[in-house]
Amino acid sequence: MLQSFIKKLCPKFVLDKYYSFRFFMYRKYNALKHRQLINDTYRHYHDVAERIRTSGDRPLRFASYVVFDSTFGAYGLMDLMLSQKDKYECKIVVIPDTCRGVEHLVDQYNKTKAFFINKYGKDVVLDGWHEETGEFLDYSDSFDIIYLANPYDSMVNEVHGVQYLSTKNVLPIYINYGYTISKWHYTNVESNMEMSLFFKYYVDTTYTLEQVKKYQLAHGKNTVLAGYAKMDSLYNEQANEKRDRLKVLISPHHTIQGINQTLDLSNFLEYYNLILELPSLFPKMDFVFRPHPLLFTNILNTKTWTQKQVDNYLLNIEKSGIEYSVGGDYFRLFCECDAIVHDCGSYMVEWLYTGKPCCYVVKGKHVRKQLDILGNKALDYHTLAYNRNDIIAFLKSLEKSQKPSNISSEIQDNIMINYPNVSNFILNNLLSKFEY
């Protein structure tokens, strides 16, 4: 009634000012609410941390909540803790992805569980979900610190999210599972409440830290510049054997058309036939096909392909002689392969640690506009391919003269922070005093 009355009496320019003022006050009110929640949460963490520090000589109880084995960023941290069992009790808690349908949930959950049991043994792995009853299991009272390998509360059940854990007597932390290279991440993820509710958020580069301070609701108060822990595992990795043939890694991203309008990187639907042709075009090369773990899930969910089409494509991959790679560990591939052709996000930066040739397949003319500072700097070290002929030209250049490994001083100084001892840094920092 009041709004209808105001519209009749007031001219448009007055109404515009009125609604602008209302929107401004709404944002101001929400900002105050967010700030209050964040400050209350940090005070709570201060008390929890003090209780843990003064809890005596018992081992620190640490858990990793993991949805996808491929996005787990704490292998080095786990190895350090498992080697010091007198100081740490650590577990992997497998939690389900609840936002992509039941069939995907069961399949992905069991794959992730099997991977970690194979890697760490049954005694280390706990179920976060009971398949028979459908119950989501809450371990928030069982641990002192919980590392969330997934920062998106919308992807998991409430009891496995940071907003829930922030109200319990436990310290949730986050370590990036992949380099952040897109503006989309900052405007759609960093700006969400979840990223400000972690006890500590370990960031990888100075570029990332600058962006987090700009977009995060807490303005980076909970961040620690640590480096990229995931890459510690690369340092001790070695290729299985010396080879006479060149080996190339092919890695398409999952952001096919229709999945995300502001992060549109994947060229798979344009080049899937070319991938199958590569062994015949380059008979003296070996190829490894390693798609992003969500690529075929997204293709099915958007009804772009049927399950039969996906199965047939993977069968053709096998028939063509291309190795199909899945699972969490891929640094062995980084060591074995002589070059990469991809359109992925974090690979854009991770591959730079090898110093080997890299080709980025560009989707459209505006890829750099989608990327943040780090993404654009990483792209400067890639050969850019805009079409089929560019990809073929890159592979032909490998045949003619393979470039030696080369890591620039810029990469070493600004990206490879604390490498290969990032996990040690984080372990020593976990319970250190933190001034918010």
Least confident of 139-148, 198-207, 231-240: 231-240
Q: What percent of the chain is modeled with pLDDT above 70?
A: 89
pLDDT at 16 over 80: no
Give mean pLDDT, residues 290-306.
91
Quickly state the pLDDT bin for 403 (edges 50, 70, 90).
low
pLDDT at 242 over 80: no
Question: Rg of the Cα trace of the chain?
Answer: 24
Whole-structure pTM value: 0.80
Positive or negative, the CA dihedral 362, 365, 369, 370 is: negative
Tell me how far CA of residue 75 lies from CA of 90, 92, 322, in angstroms. Answer: 12, 11, 28
> What distance separates the 2 farthest-apart alpha carbons in the chain?
83
Which residues, listed in sequence order, are joined to residue 127 by a DSSP beta bridge? 94
What is the rounded distance in angstroms from the CA atom of residue 339 to the CA atom of residue 288? 11
Q: Strands of 339-342's sheet, edge to edge?
A: 323-324, 285-289, 246-251, 339-342, 358-361, 383-385
pLDDT at 2 over 60: no
Q: What share of the chain is helix, strand, coil (3-state, %, to 5)?
A: 45, 15, 40
Helix (H) or strand (E) holding 63: strand 60-66
Give mean pLDDT, residues 294-299.
91
Give mean pLDDT, residues 297-324.
95
And the tokens for 127? Answer: 């179920």
The residues, ordered by sequence, that sit 6+ positions from 314 with a Cβ below 8 Å of its Cβ are 324
Tokens 């069968």 identify what position?
315
Q: Quote the Cα angle for 145-294-175, to 5°.
A: 25
Helix (H) or strand (E) holding 329: none
Phi, psi at residue 22, to the nearest 5°?
-60, -45
Q: Mean pLDDT: which of 257-261, 368-372, 402-406 is highest?
A: 368-372
What is the rounded distance in angstroms from the CA atom of residue 139 to the CA atom of residue 122? 17
pLDDT digits (tens, 9 = 90+) for 142-196: 999 999 998 889 999 999 999 999 999 999 999 988 898 888 888 888 999 999 9
**What one-letter code names the amino acid at 348?**
M
pLDDT at 25 over 50: no
Other CB atoms within 10 A of residue 141 CB: 8
CA 328 to chain centre: 12
Tokens 């005070």 identify what position?
43
Q: Strands of 171-175's sheet, edge to edge?
A: 125-127, 88-94, 60-66, 145-148, 171-175, 200-203, 223-225
The runs of H, that is alpha helices, within 216-294 are 232-235, 268-281
